Amino acid sequence: MDRNRDRILWTDKGPKAKKKAIGIKSNFLLLFTLLLFFLIGGSLCYVWSRIQVIQLGYEISNALKAERTLTEESKKLRLEIATLKSYARIEKVAVEELRMAKPKPEQVIVIR
């Protein structure tokens, strides 16, 4: 009689109960692992996007700095053009450097 009782407990209830317990633990471990991977993946995506925002901010800052520099250079060049085009300067260069003289009234021909 003791043999039958040991035999029933050993073959019917023992291994089945262990298999169910192992299956639940393995499902829990799988679910936990997937949740952990999604959490890590989401965190990495968030950090990557923040780094991209900061990098683009630096690029915008550099572009604005270059724009200010080019605007200043443009203003200086426009002033230089205006100075070089002035009639007083042209007359001075003609007289001093090119040794030109003002024409006499009879040398002037008016074209209409």
> 14-85 and 87-96 helices cross at what angle (nearest 10)?
60
**Structural tokens at position 97:** 């450097």
Instruction: Look at residue 96 in the predicted model and tell me its pLDDT.
Output: 93
What pLDDT does residue 2 have?
52
> What gap in Å lies between CA 101 and CA 28, rounded to an integer?
103
Q: What is the pLDDT of residue 53?
A: 98
What stretches in the chain show pLDDT beneath 50? Answer: 12, 14
pLDDT of 90 = 92
Say what the pLDDT of residue 36 is. 97
